Amino acid sequence: MPRARSRYAPDRGLTGRMVTTMFLIGLLYVVFVGVLLAALRGSWPIILIITGGMFVAQFWFSDRIAAYGMGAREVTPEQAPELHGTIDRICALADMPKPRVAIAESDVPNAFATGRSEKTALVCATTGLLRRLEPEELEGVLAHEMSHVAHRDVAVMTIASFLGVLAGIITRIALWGGFARSRPGNDPAGILLLLIPLISAVVYAISFLLTRLLSRYRELSADRAAALLTGRPSALASALTKVSGQMARIPTEDLRKAEPYNAFYFLPAFSAKESLGRMFSTHPTLEQRLDQLSRISTDLSR
């Protein structure tokens, strides 16, 4: 018998956006592979093997790769009793199986969740976060991360980001080496080869925007679900304010190391105020998040 859903508030808006994103990404994937097959007719078995292999690797190992890249180290209840205790309380509230628990040695105050399912999920907090937050604030942050697992949007983001990564790789290869240098300019196959970099760039741009739009909504959804589950939106708001304020005190070098993983983090890390990453942020603004939590607090107080 399948396990019943968790007690996290369902979000039809998030579900609809995930389905739409996966559908559009799927269409892009079919078009992208179709163009590659048309341009490189003799190499279609290699293309299918490479793209299929990369997709499987991205889906099955991306959580491990992300956790390793962010320095996550699994800890036992004896090694981190307070962190495990908080996770245990959230699991009891949400009626969810307990994920693996990890700590990352980093002064950047943050947390993240990875995993393609509840069985493979991992929730990690940095030492900087654990040192700065009060227990109720930490509970709000971890409830936020656990909602990503409950809503399965971590797995969707992993799959959705694959095509953009692949298209980006193809674009770089085309720019560095040139697909069509060995083909005459009036050859139809050569023209198709010339179109690959352009199509790859368009696919990358579209998938980039789709994943950014989904990411921003899922962060608001996670804030909302965590606030309703714990019944303390003010604690989550306090954590957001505190973590955001502390980011300015983190060394630039540490922030630059964290920036590539912003889509996974509780709060994005930017190495500079004028960073282009802010223009295409994976998260809504702090003001948007605090405004939503304020409305939830007002509703709960009624």
- Would you list which residues are annotated within the binding site? 144, 148, 219
Burial state string for 249-272 with b = 16 or more CB within 10 A and e = fewer than 16: ebeeeebebbeebbbbbbbbbbbe
Q: What are the phi and psi torsion angles at 185 (to 5°)?
A: -65, -25
- Helix H or strand E segment including 231: none
Q: What angle do CA 107, 108, 113 make, to 5 degrees?
A: 120
Q: What angle do CA 79, 84, 88 make, to 5 degrees?
A: 155
Q: What angle do CA 108, 110, 111 make, to 5 degrees?
A: 145
- Asked if residues 55 and 116 have their Cβ atoms less than 8 Å apart, the reply is no
Whether 78 sits among the annotated catalytic residues: the reply is no
| Residue 176 identity | W
A 10 A CB-CB count for 169 gives: 13
Spatial neighbors of 262 by CB under 8 A, at least 6 apart, are 268, 269, 277, 281, 282, 283
- Asked if residues 251 and 257 have their Cβ atoms less than 8 Å apart, the reply is no
Which residue's structure tokens are 């989550």? 236
Binding-site residues for Zn(2+), please? 144, 148, 219
Active-site hit among 118, 145, 253, 274: 145
Spatial neighbors of 225 by CB under 8 A, at least 6 apart, are 8, 9, 11, 143, 144, 147, 150, 151
Helices 153-177, 12-39: inter-axial angle, 10-degree rounding: 30
Would you please indicate which residues are annotated as catalytic (active-site) residues? Answer: 145
